[in-house]
Structure 1
Amino acid sequence: MKVNVPPPPQTLFRQFETGEISRAQLQATFALHQREMIAEIEEMQRNPVAAYIEELLIKREAAKIRRQHGEGLPREIFTALAEVPDFPPAILLWNADHRDVPFHCFFRFRREPVFRLISIRNHGISVTVEVEYGSPDRKLATRETFTLHRGVGNRFTVTRRKMGSA
């Protein structure tokens, strides 16, 4: 996984609105995001077979999660995880609450940055989620377990973060 990943857009907008960063810094960081997206598109065009296989894998996984938990709960979880400081997959999850973004777009299995949802355990008002991210090699990937609770506005917030499996 890339080490110097810029903050996700919602964080950048919040920093700009509070005056932590200038308009020029905001635009420069968004230019970095744009270059990353263009490089990813170019990579997919260079190797369309690998891109197609990756798409099939993530669509199958997204369908499995949708059957088990619906689409609303995972999107709420992803939105809360996108707000966690120093969580590299936030760059993939920042727009999870936008229903016009296809559900499968949040997963990555072979292409960095990798993001896998290992398990969701729903306890009513709280949820425990295990995710894996980083390297496509599962031995090198980072695994974290998060506990989320519903708070103000009935939104999830992360209350506990633990490295490794539960």
Structure 2
Amino acid sequence: MKQYQTDLYIEDLYFFDRKLESPIKESEWQNWLEKWLSLLELDLDDQKTYEISLILTDDQEIQSLNQQYRDKDQPTDVLSFAALETDFPDTDFLDSITLGDIIISVETAQKQALSQGHSLRVELAWLTSHGFLHLLGWDHPDDDFLKEMLTLQEFLLNSIELQAPSIELFFDS
């Protein structure tokens, strides 16, 4: 299994502004993303560094972004903005490659964690794994693709010894 180096840029607007301690340390985020990149067995150059921005914010900010970029005037839990929308271009001359941005509303994550009966830590990891997969090209245009993506998220959370939410929560009974 290849090992990948990531540069993670965290902009913690939520916990920092409120003088609260985040349930996940920056070193944990870094370790998780590097582990996930390795586990996914992508055809990436292990000599490169992969850059990801993680922004933790509130419902007001994510609603503004959701309106601006998706024409949806409502908060959402996670938004992803992939830097590479198509196959990886020729990057031989680059030392690092930007994968994109993951933006999470901690307020929405807290509500979802409470309603689903798990910790904020689990919900933040879950949402980050979802956004991370989007940065790498996964999508869920229908229920079959969504189930495949959620199963992969479950695998990623299990790899860092967190119990993923039941994927059945995402489908009507």
On whether the aligned pair clears a TM of 0.5, the verdict is no
TM-score, length-scaled by structure 1: 0.28
TM-score, length-scaled by structure 2: 0.27
Relative contact order (C-alpha < 8 Å, sep 6+): which is higher?
A: 2
